[in-house]
Structure 1
Amino acid sequence: MNTTNIEKNKSILVIEPIGMGGELLLKAIRSLGYYTIIATTEYVYNTMLQNFKDMIDDVIYIDFSARESAIETLVDESKRKGVAGVVVAWEFLTDIAAEVAQQLNLCGPDASLSRARRNKYIMYRALSQAQCPRPALQAVLTNVDTINQLPLEELTFPLVVKPAENAASFGVSVLDDDKDLVQAFQNAAQWTHEYPHGIPFSNEILIQEYIPGREFSVEGISVSGQYLPWGVTMKFTTLGKARAETGHIFPAPIDTDLRDEILAVAKQAVIALGITNGISHTEIKLDKQGKPRVIESCSRPAGDYIPRLVELATGENPLAIYARQAVGDLSADFRPAAPKRYSAVQFIRPEVEGTFKSLVIPSRLKNAEVIESRITAPVDSQVKPGSTNIERLGWAIFTANDEQSVLSAMDELSQLTKVGIS
């Protein structure tokens, strides 16, 4: 990474730095020396962001549920405060971030396609128009009563039922037959507003082809329309009717031909969705023929500490690159650093329901170096196995020098971790 031309103390607007991605983004911005202004609510600032206040220089309180007035206020306040760049951590606010950046004439993705990056139904149409490989859409429902009008004999199982505008596996079901179709629809429709900002969701529920193969994501940045990926991340998930992520490895331990196929499809999706500038996270699965298909793509940093894995593997922090580009400090000839080793994160999830008492994560592994770990569930809290990414007790991040070592370390960590639930 070329740091010789970084201009210190530029003001950067961070639109809602909650979640894992927000924490890492704030740290990256602080390391660059930029003046950090965040857009959030007073409730979020005093609760979810209380441990990050030393990385925040100024705050703009915003009601994000009122989209147009939120954009107007952020544009006005950004002009008044001399904001030089706009970045976003919270997936649900990528559309607002794109619009604010465009109105300020700052670096960002195409705002006219921002809804296509948030609503999976609109995204499907944009990917279809670009002939990007994707799961087939079998039906779109807006009311549970319309299930009775579906020609069930024309549905192809297994299939996926999911809401058009949620995230983190909320409301997603994989069905082998139609007997649980009504329940799956109800599960998908139960969240009508985003938390914690109360942003209203659309009411579309998608019934899609199920893609059965391995899961990956691609982490990249676009510079003036040129797509520049750091590489491919391998993903691990739970099984059953609902899927939640249990771990990631970067770079994915796959052959170069498959890697290049995945990168090509990710590039196609990013271009179709107007991510002309800024960071992107594209999720991909392999079909029965082993060919990559795009599940979704968005103009945001990856969650689940994936940016940290990229940094450990390449020596380059993708969130710092994202922030530098946003304020105009990224050189035009930038090229992402190549991976030099493997890195992984593994999430510890409860296997039984009960009261969480303890979690012991090994600090040493035979096959890898443990970089850091964290217990995230409060002691004496009630826990149970679940279908989303929030039923986690803790996590560990580790690195290894070769493909076999990182894969062996995943198994070793699982075997050595001790969970106490009563």
Structure 2
Amino acid sequence: MLLDVSGPDREDLLKAAIATGHEVYTATPRGQASATTPREVAGTVVVDFSSYEAAVSDIVAFARSRRVDAIVTVNEFLTPVAALACATLGLPGNDATLAMAARNKITMVERLHVAGVAVPSTIAVTGEEEVYDHLRRQTFSFPLVVKPAENAGSTGVSVVERLDELTAAFQRVRLQRGPYGIHLDPRVVVQEYIDGEEFSVESLTQDGQTEHVCITKKQTTSGAYRVETGHTLPSNLDPIARQQVLQQVTMAAAATGIRNSWSHCEVKRKPDGAWVVLEIAPRIGGGRITLLTSLALEIDMAGAALAVALGQPVELAPTRRAFAAIRRPLAPRGGRLLAVQGMPCTGVNVPFSEVTTEIGASVASPDSNSARVGYFIVTATDETSADQRADELLRGVSVIVEPQGN
């Protein structure tokens, strides 16, 4: 049973589930019930995900009536529902007692710190006045990261360089709304800004044993809003650096109750070489990382997620040794999308290129991942060539947006 299969990464999971030959059921969010359901899906239950308790109750009842053997999601907001439903049904899943530990960033940092994982200095506050007090006592200093306790996709995240930017950053957090009508923790997370290179680690945990599949190098915008614009994998770190970061990620997965699922852990390497864990989520990485991993390593992440959920053995050894890079053109401002010019054509070493936002549609300002209007992927035999070619092609893309009101 799959929880909400709308969106590219979730569709990958649906296709993989159908390919197994098992009967596939889906839980569809209320309000999306009119969406077309693939004919291969054996049944669907409409669920109100705004209440985790009610959602779990409905999913468990449906699963029992259909004798469901596994429950899987790649949606970060629904990972607690999956963990709680699996625990109720006795299915392989993550630790239900820590269902919010990798969803709520305050709980997450507390768990990671106690486990000895290197994390940024963090406080949870309700207003700017508490931050002013920390600044006066010099327990914190600029730059700071201000972000919501429970959102995702860089939504509401700001890097604050000066005192006069703090109020606007807090206002961005207060304006955030959760999907499905989920009530989000209203507290604000304030952290020290960690300078350095940013990566993610894609890992699979089964019965509490974690295997790391690859390390992904990340590209983000600079300035107040750090939007992810690219990934390249696998990243060739030196053996010592690789061992150090993977040790931190293994500890992070255990500390947040990840026992039977993929995890996507965001990390930074400081200029002195030390690693810091920023966040971990009990899901497959977004941004088409499943596709990159397939192209570079021939590893089927969606298939592996299903196997773990079914309690089946998983083989993760790569059968290809290549590199893949994705780049995501951003809208330069909010408004109406008029054109995306210069997107590369698919061909040799460019297996995918797509404008994902409809021309004429409204686009967000470039302060979150919602501003991404498309993507293309480059493959190569080495990491440097993949990066250089992808960056060259990205420089040739122009996103033309008409400001709202014109």
TM-score clears 0.5 = yes
Tell me the number of residue pairs that the alignment of Structure 1 and Structure 2 aligns. 400
1:347 aligns with 2:328: yes
Residue pair 1:251, 1:339 contacting (<8 A) in 2 also? no
Q: What do you get for the CA RMSD once the two structures are aligned?
A: 2.0
In structure 2, distance between residues paired with 1:180 and 1:153: 19
User: What secondary structure is seen at the aligned counterpart in 2 of 1:75?
Assistant: helix
Check if 1:23 corresponds to 2:2: no
Look up the equivalent residue of 2:360 and give its one-letter code: D
Structure 1 Cα separation of the partners of residues 346 and 362 of structure 2 = 29
Show the counterpart of 1:388: 368
Q: What is the aligned partner in structure 1 of residue 350 from structure 2?
A: 370
Q: CA deviation at 1:143?
A: 3.5
SS in 1 for 2:150: coil
Conserved 8 A contact 2:135-2:141: no
Among 305, 320, 331, the residue aligned to 1:322: 305
Distance 2:92 2:366 in 1: 39
Who is 2:136 aligned against? 152
- Higher mean alpha-carbon deviation, 147-156 vs 30-39, is at 147-156
Letter matched to residue 58 of structure 2: T
- The correspondence for 2:181, drawn from 173, 198, 201, is 198
Greater shift in the superposed pair: 321-330 or 115-124: 321-330
Q: What is the correspondence of 1:270-281 to structure 2 with a 5 Å cutoff?
A: 270-281=253-264
1:392 aligned partner, one-letter code: R
The residue correspondences of 1:252-263 to structure 2 (distance < 5 A) are 252-263=235-246
Cα separation, 1, equivalents of 2:84 and 2:395: 47
Write the letter of the residue equivalent to 2:291.
R
Q: Structure 2 CA distance, aligned partners of 1:403 and 1:58?
A: 43
Out of 14, 36, 43, the position equivalent to 1:58 is 43
Q: Aligned to 1:356, which of 318, 326, 337?
A: 337
Counterpart residue identity of residue 136, structure 2? L
Q: Does the CA contact (< 8 Å) of 2:234 and 2:383 recur in 1?
A: no
Q: CA deviation at 1:33?
A: 2.2
**What is residue 29 of structure 2 aligned with on the other side?**
41
Cα deviation per residue 1:127-167 (whole Å; 9 max; x = unaligned)?
01101011111x32124554555543522211101111001
Write the distance in 1 (CA, Å) between the matches of 2:259 and 2:286. Answer: 21
Cα deviation code 1:33-90 (max 9, x no counterpart): 222211122422435xx4x634533111111112212211211110111101010121
Alignment-derived partner of residue 214 in structure 2: 231
**Between 69-78 and 97-106, the greater mean CA deviation after superposition:** 69-78
Correspondence list, 1:103-252, <5 A: 103-137=88-122, 139-144=123-128, 146-147=130-131, 149-154=133-138, 155-191=140-176, 193-195=177-179, 197-252=180-235
Give 2:272's aligned residue.
Answer: 289
**Hey, what's the Cα distance between the residues in 1 that align with 2:196 and 2:216?**
15
- Give the deviation of 1:345 after TM superposition: 1.1
TM-score normalized by the length of structure 1:
0.89
| Displacement after TM superposition at 1:188 (Å) | 1.2
My pick for the range that moved more, 278-287 or 31-40, is 31-40
- Aligned pair in 2 of structure 1 residues 187, 316: CA closer, same or farther (>3 Å)? same
Counterpart contact for 2:102–2:281, Cα < 8 Å: yes
Tell whether 2:65 aligns with 1:80.
yes
Give the superposition deviation at 1:358: 2.3
SS, match of residue 32 in structure 2: helix
Structure 1 residues 336-387: Cα deviation after superposition (integer angstroms, max 9, x where no partner)? 436610011110112355542222411258xx70111211122123446411
Q: State the SS of the aligned residue for 2:163.
A: coil
What SS is found at the alignment partner of 1:88? Answer: coil
Shift of 1:254: 3.1
- Residue 86 of structure 2 corresponds to residue 93 of structure 1: no
| Residue of 387, 391, 395 corresponding to 1:415 | 395
Letter in 2 for 1:142: T
Q: % of aligned pairs identical?
A: 31
TM-superposed deviation, 1:103: 1.0
Counterparts of 1:330-341 in structure 2 under 5 Å?
Answer: 330=313, 334-337=315-318, 340-341=321-322
Residue 8 of structure 1 corresponds to none
User: Gapped runs of 5+ residues in structure 1?
Assistant: 1-12
TM-score, normalised relative to structure 2: 0.93
| Cα separation, partners in 2 of 1:268 and 1:147, compared to 1, 3 Å | closer
AA partner of residue 169 (structure 2) = A
Aligned to 2:289: 306
Aligned mates of 1:96, 1:323 — CA distance in 2:
17
Question: Does the Cα contact within 8 Å between 1:20 and 1:303 map onto a contact in 2?
Answer: no
What CA distance in whole angstroms lies between the structure 2 residues aligned with 1:285 and 1:419?
A: 30
8 Å contact from structure 2 (residues 265, 280) kept in 1: yes
Question: Structure 2: which 5+ residue stretches go unaligned?
Answer: none
